[in-house]
Chain A
Amino acid sequence: NAGVTQTPKFRILKIGQSMTLQCAQDMNHNYMYWYRQDPGMGLKLIYYSVGAGITDKGEVPNGYNVSRSTTEDFPLRLELAAPSQTSVYFCASSQDYRETQYFGPGTRLLVL
Chain B
Amino acid sequence: QEQLVESGGGVVQPGGSLRLSCAAFELTFRNYGMHWVRQAPGKGLEWVTYVRYDGSNSYHADSVKGRFTISRDNSKNTLNLQMNNLRAEDTAIYYCARDQVVGRTRYFDLWGRGTLVTVSS
> A and B from one assembly?
no
